[in-house]
Chains A and B, each alone.
Chain A
Amino acid sequence: MEIVAFCCQWCSYAGADLAGTSRLKYPANIRIIKIPCSSRINPTFIMRALSKGVDGVMVAGCHPGDCHYSTGNYFTRRRLMVLKRLLEFSGINPERLQLYWISAAEGGKFAESVKDIISKLEKIQDKPFPKNPESSP
């Protein structure tokens, strides 16, 4: 299983670091990409990842109201709300996209979130985006 995580550098990336310094354990199949703010996440990044057969995408940002850039994550929230529905309509299980609010102090929550998304993905029956769709239909 392969999971991409987009973490904003101020809250959730720091949260991930904290999980590390507190030696919390979580599964290894998560790959973190550091971005300045969750509002930097272009929906196409996520579509791209999923269409390349990634099993899940985890987006993590500061808690609403605590955004380092004061309002960034409010926009993220709106964009992802719509994206989630679009993906669902296109036939991708919306559980494959998870958004968590994780502050720099929430190392524990980061580890939990990783476990959470993985357990969600394990429950999912339907296959991810086919590796070479040409052959599939």
Chain B
Amino acid sequence: MHNQSQSFRDSTISTARELEIELEELPDWYCCGAVYPLRSEDLISLLSPTRNLMGAKKEGKELVTLCSACYQVLKRTNYLILNDADKREKLNNYLEEKYDGSTKVLHFLEVIRKDVGWEELKSKVKTSLTGLKAAPYYGCLLLRPQKELVFDHPENPTIFENFLQSLGCDIVDFPYKTECCGAYLGITEEKVINSAVLKIIQGANKRGIEVLITSCPLCLYNLEAGQKELMKSGHISKPVPVLYFTQLLALALGLGVDVCHFEEHQINPLPVLERLK
């Protein structure tokens, strides 16, 4: 994140400060592995997320993630450790010390909902984003499988909508918000991305959506890269900028554009955002 998603990082850190949420980088964190291991015997891949969870436990803190993928991996790992005694046992054999699954895994959105609250957030907004036709793009990893993540309703999630509402945006009902972007296949199987992104962007255009909001670096990348491709091939004319929810939050809280690093984006959001100031 320090390298490629400064936008995500800085916007988060600054907004958190603004909202008086104490964030602290996990000392010597490990990469969670990005995908939750789906083979039942694959325990090794569970180790690094477990180490992170244990790290948080040592700190006696809740583990907050920004990225949907990390969220999915950490929360599911925790779920497994909590509910599968046998696997817990096996895992603990690999670990320096026992971990029991007691760490609470939260997404930054949940933290805002829990510690700030939508009403409170509204009151903190300096530049309301009224008139900005925004739609959330949840993607997959935040919502499914609901049984393990219990993040929001898998078919009709609302947490992003509530968030955007408090920022003053005009919410557009966007059925594609829960459709997949093609995930890591973006690298090897372009057509997966293109077909997925095409659906999503066309849907967005039809509804006059000006900006899509996400919390997943990969979603963001795919949506942007995909759009560029599709514009080349002329499948879409009107690109839709994609932003991290924290960037929009930063703007609303009046923290200025520099924390947002809009230059990172392949589809420049500024034209859309100009209006706001």
Quick check: do A and B touch in the complex, using CB within 8 A?
no
Q: Which residues of B does A touch, CB under 8 Å?
A: none
Q: Which residues of A does B touch, CB under 8 Å?
A: none
